A and B are shown apart, each in its own frame.
Chain A
Amino acid sequence: AQSVTQLDSQVPVFEEAPVELRCNYSSSVSVYLFWYVQYPNQGLQLLLKYLSGSTLVKGINGFEAEFNKSQTSFHLRKPSVHISDTAEYFCAVSEHTGGFKTIFGAGTRLFVKA
């Protein structure tokens, strides 16, 4: 069965510093991978997705993620964060077996300090 682990529950970082939010998954079949962002008291918004092809995926707001099949990871990175990036970030996995279930990680709260 698929599962998703976000290795850090909270990540504090100073403004303009780089950040990496880590995500590992477990699955016996091929997967689609997603990162979503949630601002306080709002719904989730898609940041980026990996479906196939290039393992380096670029998303909105300057974020990118790299799919590493051998390490079953899909870490999210940004070279320079802004105060406005303070939010909760969710990694999600959907298996290639059809159906409709997407499994979400527990979330990582990114806190950008001035």
Chain B
Amino acid sequence: DGGITQSPKYLFRKEGQNVTLSCEQNLNHDAMYWYRQDPGQGLRLIYYSQIVNDFQKGDIAEGYSVSREKKESFPLTVTSAQKNPTAFYLCASSIGQFSYEQYFGPGTRLTVT
């Protein structure tokens, strides 16, 4: 079955540590996205990538970094510079330009204490 996988489902880290969230898709989609979800705020775009080796900052990129070395993979690193990293993180993909519907992974809930 085609889809998007995110791992792990739950992640706990100490403040000051960097942490990398995994996102893999086997849908052969060109575009991939990372969103952050906080209660009552909907989804906010962190980073997106249209093609391999290219990515763009979204609305809340500060304190985050990404890479896109393979079409299937778009890992997100939450750095110690992110002031409030505890959130639910969603990865998504779409066929390509014009952002037709996006396909979402199951999400990773990150808790930093």
Contact = CB atoms under 8 A, between A and B. Distances in A.
A32 B106 contact: no
A35 to B, nearest CB: 10
B39 to A, nearest CB: 9
Contacts of B41: 106
Nearest to B4: A43
Contacts of A44: 43, 90, 92, 102, 104
B2 interface: no
B52 to A, nearest CB: 15
B99 interface: yes
Nearest to B44: A104
A75 B21 CA distance: 35
Nearest to B10: A41
Interface in A68-100: 90, 94, 96, 98-100
Chain A contact patch, size range? 20 to 34
Contacts of B106: 42-43
B71 to A, nearest CB: 15
A102 B40 contact: no
B34 interface: no
Contacts of B102: 44, 46, 102
A32 B100 contact: yes
Given A100-B31, A100-B48, A104-B42, A43 B90 contact: yes
Interface in B50-106: 50, 56, 58, 88, 90, 92, 94, 97-106
Contacts of A99: 97, 99
B101 A46 contact: yes
Given A36-B104, A96-B98, A107-B40, 17 more contacts: A9-B40, A32-B99, A42-B107, A43-B90, A43-B104, A43-B105, A44-B90, A44-B92, A44-B104, A90-B42, A94-B99, A98-B97, A99-B97, A100-B33, A100-B50, A100-B56, A101-B99
Q: Give 10 closest A-B pairs by Cβ, nearest first.
A: A43-B104, A106-B42, A104-B43, A44-B104, A104-B42, A94-B99, A46-B101, A43-B106, A100-B99, A102-B99
